[in-house]
Structure 1
Amino acid sequence: MNANITIKTATPGDSHEIAVMVGELLSEIMNTIGVQAFNFDLEETTDRLRDFLNLEKYFVFIAHDEGKKAVGFLALYESHALYAEGSFGTIPELYVRPEYRSNNVGFRLVSQAKSFSVSRGWKRLEVTTPPLPQFDKTLAFYEREGFAISGGRKLKVAL
């Protein structure tokens, strides 16, 4: 598929469209690993994203094809750490619908995120991928985009 793709900064009005893709992303991850790792509710996710965007706590870039269909998105948030020498960005979600993969949509979303990060004065961008063989293509994509493995594993505890 060789479509004319445009990238724009998401607004709160885009929340439902992005939340649908979040559901697709989480389903794809869970199907790949065979574990119910996430809870997803479309309405709650839409409302949460709208709140995050309104508070400017979350920044999202959305890709559309020439038919105005949403084909992917990348989300960012600002973090702060001494080890990172100040403020930096974290990419919690990047998703491109399967039929648009291998069309530079992910590359363009990451490029937009890098430009945005520079404009914010962030020192770096971080992303976490599961350390599983099923995600080797994802890891290879990020490495092609200049990301380097920095060690460690992402851990969580529910509160």
Structure 2
Amino acid sequence: MMVGELLQEIMQAIGEQAFNFDLPATTARLQTFLHDGHYHAFVATDESGTAAGFLTLYQSYALYAEGSFGTIPELYVRPAYRSHGTGKQLLATARAFGASKGWTRLEVTTPPLPAFERTLAFYEREGFAITGGRKLKTLLPKEMPHA
């Protein structure tokens, strides 16, 4: 559910339909990723056990990074829990997890700027530094069935 909330917030801020969110498909994808052990998810909860936010993480490899490192594809804190240390707590958990895996660093990409300047400021306060460039993507065609 929180993935949908995150994507909706991004799309509202940038004014375009940048994502297609399907809860059952996303849930199935998450279960597969977690089962395969290539994807890790951490959920922060409040005192009553209500989900306040989440962070996902996977292992990446690059020569420039001197080995393996962690990539954070999603970090979301529900609005009612922002500015209460929830995001900081999730990043602390990610750092500890990454260190236990022997990763050299964590990397994250912010949603589009300037709409998400506050997100950038949060990451900078948490010790992340801008490394330059911009995240780019291209869509690949779906694999054609073999005849």
Query: Do both proteins adopt the same fold according to a TM-score greater than 0.5, normalized to the shorter chain?
Result: yes
Could you say if the C-alpha distance between residues 24 and 131 of structure 1 is closer, same or farther in structure 2, counting changes exceeding 3 Å? closer
Q: Residues 10-159 of structure 1 correspond to what in structure 2 (within 5 A)?
A: 20-159=1-140
TM-score by length of structure 2 reads 0.94
2:144 is matched with none
Higher relative contact order (Cα pairs below 8 Å, separated by 6+ residues): 1
Give the residue type in structure 2 aligned to 1:124. Answer: R
The CA deviation string for residues 92-147 of structure 1, in whole angstroms up to 9 with x for no partner, is 00000000001000000000000100000000000001351111100000000000
Instruction: Structure 1 unaligned segments of length 5 or more: list them.
Output: 1-19
Q: Percent identity?
A: 67
Equivalenced residue count is 140
Instruction: Structure 2 unaligned segments of length 5 or more: list them.
Output: 141-147
Structure 2: distance between partners of 1:130 and 1:29: 7
Structure 2: distance between partners of 1:85 and 1:74: 24
2:143 is matched with none
Partner of 1:44: helix, strand, or coil? helix
TM-score by length of structure 1 reads 0.87
Partner of 2:16: helix, strand, or coil? coil
1:8 is matched with none
Could you say if the C-alpha distance between residues 150 and 141 of structure 1 is closer, same or farther in structure 2, counting changes exceeding 3 Å? same
1:4 is matched with none
The CA deviation string for residues 39-69 of structure 1, in whole angstroms up to 9 with x for no partner, is 1000000000001001111011101111111
Structure ranking higher in helix proportion: 1
Give the residue type in structure 2 aligned to 1:56. Answer: G
Structure 1: distance between partners of 2:135 and 2:49: 35
Aligned-CA RMSD value: 0.7
